[in-house]
């Protein structure tokens, strides 16, 4: 190889690398208004063979002969070394072009496409490109053929510009489908031109096979009624050519009531193929129950099966009217229970008293106390407290002692005069199971506080005695009630209403008996007999009842 030849080759390489690619394709489509060029291939070898390398261009067609092109042919056409350049190409440039370098003749047929006014690109000039989902999608705008005059490059997706940066580099998703247009803005002789190259990106599902699978649980129990129809649904994830079918039992093959859907419904989601197939069972009979109906998807690598079993629906066993009756009974029982509970709450006292009488319960045997109750009352008899005084010394012992066999401690009657009153009272309260306080305005106003306080102390602090409070009207005036008395449970406070509480069948006496310790009574009289004594005038009845014992 001569040194001169080597130099020439280097020159050609440099020229080539700085210029456009040659164009092999004989059929060329281009768009009006864009820069365009033609360049024969293999020129360098022609030049090498033929030192006088000049190129000639012709345009023409079979019917009209050929016309040589030169710089005067059109202001838009320039001859630049081996290129024939159009700035820009127009519709009238359509036709066949020939280049001649030495003996080498090349031709191209050029079709110029009309610009689409309504779009940023022309659909006839897009390149289609498929990208597999999840695979790399890369779109960059480069035009080596016009790299030198290109001043600005921008990228559009479906004609909306992608800025910062004008490129795409990511893993393909289905949302990436669309037309991506690179627009190269270039300047030539002080004028601006745009070249638009558009790629139609289609994202395809992965070619790699998936493992076929039936969706949902592998076993399904379907409740059916005899004589009805049922559709068993099977959905699978599979490849295009995988088998997907219902297995029909031998005994069902001839049975027209068990029918596999001949068509399968298919759809793609997330790039994966799904299929849906039904098995219809009409007029279900006993033979269809408790056998497995299998739905299978399979290919040469894997198999998946789902089984369905039909079982008889249970609810049909309860006829409607039985069900309604059941509900009525249930409601009735609930109402009855509520009533019983309510009655128990209302007649609690009566029930307790009845029970005590029934079992002859006696709480007084073992505690070593003498009295069942200490009666605390205002001991001076004034006209304004005559009612409670009579109640304390007369009515109360008459009913509780005579009628119900209790033993009361009434100061006026049971305390021997002349002792140390304070100690006496203390020990009497100590020996009593209950402290009955006859509470009235006067009681609190006069000096009976000792008993009150001693009793309250025992009740609230020592818990040795239980207090029963009997209020005498008017109750609302007890504004100065000791705070500890207010702590008494409301059911331990009884209200004496002279008119309503007369009969010892009245609520007042029942409540009082309820609060008294349980003790089997040996009534002196028939219960039905009213307290006739009580009808006597209050003031005159200053009766002194002797201690009776039992």
Ligand X SMILES: *[C@@H]1O[C@H](CO)[C@@H](O)[C@H](O)[C@H]1NC(C)=O
Interface residues toward ligand X, by CB under 6 A: 21, 23, 49-50, 52, 54, 61, 63-64, 95-96, 102-103, 107, 123, 126, 128, 143, 145, 154, 183, 185, 192, 194, 197, 200, 202, 222, 231-233, 247, 249, 263, 292, 294, 305, 307
Peptide bond into 165 cis (omega under 30): yes
Which residue is listed with tokens 């210029």? 19
Closest of 330, 366, 347, 268 to residue 514, by C-alpha: 347
Write down the least CB distance from residue 124 to ligand X, Å.
Answer: 8
Angle between helix axes 348-359 and 320-346 (nearest 10 degrees) is 80
Task: For ligand X, give the closer residue by CB, 145 or 376.
Answer: 145
The one catalytic residue in 34, 85, 388, 451 is: 451
Write down the least CB distance from residue 47 to ligand X, Å.
Answer: 10
Write down the least CB distance from residue 249 to ligand X, Å.
Answer: 4
Are residues 167 and 141 in contact, defined by beta-carbon separation less than 8 angstroms? yes
Task: For ligand X, give the closer residue by CB, 289 or 292.
Answer: 292
CA distance 352 to 249: 74
| Strand ranges of the sheet holding 191-204, from the earlier edge strand across to the other edge | 126-132, 191-204, 178-188, 150-157, 160-162
Task: For ligand X, give the closer residue by CB, 232 or 502.
Answer: 232
Write down the least CB distance from residue 56 to ligand X, Å.
Answer: 9
Burial class, 186, CB count within 10 angstroms (exposed 0-12 / middle 13-18 / buried 19+) = buried
CA distance 16 to 3: 20
Q: Is 72 a catalytic residue?
A: no
Write down the least CB distance from residue 55 to ligand X, Å.
Answer: 9
Write down the least CB distance from residue 81 to ligand X, Å.
Answer: 16
Q: How many CB atoms lie within 10 A of CB 430?
A: 16
Write down the least CB distance from residue 54 to ligand X, Å.
Answer: 6
Q: What is the DSSP pairing of strand 272-281 with strand 258-260?
A: antiparallel
Q: Please state, in angstroms and as integers, the Cα–Cα distance from residue 4 to each residue in 7, 14, 327, 401, 446, following that order.
A: 5, 15, 114, 153, 148
CA distance 374 to 493: 16
Tokens of 459: 């009740």
216: left (phi over 0), alpha (psi -120 to 50) or beta: left
Where are any strands of DSSP class E within 332-428?
371-376, 408-410
Tokens of 214: 């039936």
Write down the least CB distance from residue 225 to ligand X, Å.
Answer: 13
Task: For ligand X, give the closer residue by CB, 202 or 255.
Answer: 202
Task: For ligand X, give the closer residue by CB, 52 or 207.
Answer: 52
Task: For ligand X, give the closer residue by CB, 150 or 390.
Answer: 150
CA distance 493 to 385: 19
Are residues 306 and 220 in contact, defined by beta-carbon separation less than 8 angstroms? yes
Task: For ligand X, give the closer residue by CB, 43 or 396.
Answer: 43
First to last CA, the chain: 154
CA distance 28 to 533: 136
Task: For ligand X, give the closer residue by CB, 178 or 405.
Answer: 178
Write down the least CB distance from residue 326 to ligand X, Å.
Answer: 29
Task: For ligand X, give the closer residue by CB, 42 or 326.
Answer: 42
Closest of 316, 317, 313 to residue 222, by C-alpha: 313
What φ, ψ does residue 450 adopt, rounded to 5°?
-55, -50
Catalytic annotation, residues:
451
């Amino acid at each position: 190889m001569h040194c001169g030849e080597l130099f020439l080759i280097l020159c050609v390489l440099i020229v080539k690398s700085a210029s456009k690619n040659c164009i092999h394709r004989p059929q060329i489509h281009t768009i009006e208004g864009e820069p365009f060029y033609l360049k024969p291939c293999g020129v360098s070898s022609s030049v090498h063979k033929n030192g006088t390398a000049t190129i000639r261009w012709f345009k023409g067609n079979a019917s009209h002969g050929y016309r040589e092109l030169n710089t005067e042919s059109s202001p838009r056409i320039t001859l630049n070394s081996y290129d024939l350049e159009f700035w820009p190409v127009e519709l009238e440039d359509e036709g066949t072009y020939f280049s001649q370098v030495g003996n080498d003749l090349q031709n191209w047929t050029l079709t110029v496409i009309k610009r689409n006014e309504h779009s940023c690109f022309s659909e006839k000039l897009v390149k289609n490109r498929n990208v597999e989902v999840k695979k790399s999608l890369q779109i960059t705008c480069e035009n080596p053929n016009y790299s030198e005059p290109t001043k600005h490059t921008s990228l559009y997706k479906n004609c909306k510009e992608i800025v910062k940066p004008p490129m795409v580099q990511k893993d393909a998703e289905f949302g990436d489908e669309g037309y991506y247009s690179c627009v190269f803005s270039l300047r030539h002789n002080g004028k601006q031109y745009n070249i638009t190259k558009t790629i139609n990106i289609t994202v395809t599902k992965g070619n790699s096979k998936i493992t076929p699978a039936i969706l949902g649980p592998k076993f399904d129990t379907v409740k059916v009624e005899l004589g009805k129809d049922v559709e068993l649904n099977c959905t699978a994830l599979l490849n295009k050519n995988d088998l997907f079918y219902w297995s029909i039992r031998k005994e069902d093959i001839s049975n027209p009531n068990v029918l596999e859907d001949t068509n399968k419904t298919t759809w793609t989601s997330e790039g994966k193929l799904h299929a849906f197939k039904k098995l219809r069972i009409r007029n279900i009979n006993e033979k269809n129950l408790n056998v497995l109906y299998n739905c299978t998807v399979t290919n040469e690598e894997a198999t998946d099966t789902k089984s369905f079993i039909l079982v008889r629906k249970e609810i049909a066993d309860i006829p409607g009217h039985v069900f309604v009756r059941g509900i009525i009974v249930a409601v009735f029982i609930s109402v009855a229970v509520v009533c019983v509970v309510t009655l128990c709450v209302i007649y609690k006292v009566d029930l307790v008293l009845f029970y005590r009488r029934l079992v002859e319960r006696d709480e007084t045997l073992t505690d070593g106390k003498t009295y069942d109750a200490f009666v605390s009352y205002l001991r001076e008899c004034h006209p304004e407290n005559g009612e409670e005084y009579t109640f304390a010394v007369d009515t109360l012992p008459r009913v509780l002692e005579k009628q119900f066999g209790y033993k009361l401690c009434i100061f006026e009657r049971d305390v021997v005069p002349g002792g140390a009153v304070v100690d006496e009272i203390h020990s009497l309260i100590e020996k009593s199971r209950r402290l009955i306080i006859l509470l009235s305005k006067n009681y609190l106003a006069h000096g009976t506080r000792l008993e009150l306080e001693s009793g309250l102390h025992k009740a609230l602090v020592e818990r040795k005695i239980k207090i029963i409070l009997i209020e005498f009207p008017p109750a609302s005036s007890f504004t100065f009630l000791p705070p500890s008395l207010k702590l008494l449970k409301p059911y331990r406070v009884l209200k004496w209403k002279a008119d309503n509480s007369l009969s010892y069948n009245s609520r007042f006496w029942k409540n009082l008996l309820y609060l008294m310790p349980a003790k089997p009574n040996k009534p002196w009289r028939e219960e039905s007999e009213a307290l006739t004594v009580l009808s006597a005038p209050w003031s005159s009845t200053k009766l002194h009842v002797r201690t009776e014992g039992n």
